[in-house]
Amino acid sequence: MSNIILASGSPRRHELLALAQLSFNTMSVDIDETPLTDELPTPYIERMVKDKSHAAIEQLNLQLAASAERVDFSSMHTAIVLTADTIGVLADGRTVLVKPVDRAHAHSMWQQMSGSTHQVWTAVRAVKVQLINAGRDEAQWQIVAKRQIMESTDVSFIPLTSAMMNSYWDSGEPADKAGGYAIQGLAAAWVTRINGSYTNVVGLPLAQTLALIDELQVS
């Protein structure tokens, strides 16, 4: 197993990390991503990457417990688990733009972004875990170091018409995207300018993520 694990089912994050020519494994984690009542963007996105990280480590330990393979503790076993979460945030700094649940929800978000500038935030959490002997020849992954960052990018949209929004929804592209759009897809035609990391808008601020990995690998 590679010592880098991308705990995300997002093909976009997989593609971005692959651009760095790193060897890594992927795993999917399933958590409840519903915002809490009156939860602001910063605590929400920080909670998401933390919950994803805990779920990933729990899954790794379950896989380890189910394996018949004995662990050799004469050598150190470490891994870096990456989790990320991306949201859109309106100019008010409070309204979170999440994945649309249906056409009406998508239209509502797009109308608020139409002809204005919103932000895309991605939180990235990197956790270094190490195999420890939990007794009776049982092994367990435990956290030995962790780092977390948040990256923000300004994205400006053209004024959107109902016809444009209907056509985009019918394409099927918006369904699983934060804010209901993919800047690397058909919605590129809606973007007049960005200020900040482009890869952050896609779903993973690549340069910043690589810096996190480097920092944990030498820690």
Model confidence over 109-120: pLDDT tens digits? 999 999 999 999
Indicate the angle between helix axes 11-19 and 206-217, nearest 10 degrees: 70
What pLDDT does 8 receive?
A: 94
What pLDDT does 33 receive?
A: 87
Assigned CATH class of 4-217: alpha beta
Nearest CA to 208 out of 144, 127, 123, 129 is that of 123
149: its two tokens: 């960052």
Question: 58-62, 81-85, 165-169: which range is least confident on average?
Answer: 58-62
Q: Which candidate in 38, 51, 85, 170 is catalytic?
A: 85
The amino acid present at 5, given as its one-letter code, is I
Q: Over 60: is that where the pLDDT of 71 sits?
A: no
Q: Cβ neighbours of residue 138 under 8 Å, at least 6 residues apart? A: 65
- Could you report the per-residue pLDDT of 9-40, keeping only the tens digit for each? 999 999 999 999 989 999 999 999 888 888 89
pTM, two decimals, is 0.89
* Ranges of each domain in the chain: 4-217
85 is catalytic: yes
Per DSSP, 81 falls in state E
Residue predicted with more confidence, 137 or 51: 51
Percentage of residues in the chain having pLDDT higher than 70? 93
- Could you report the per-residue pLDDT of 146-190, keeping only the tens digit for each? 999 999 999 999 999 999 999 999 999 998 888 999 999 999 999
Q: Over 80: is that where the pLDDT of 121 sits?
A: yes
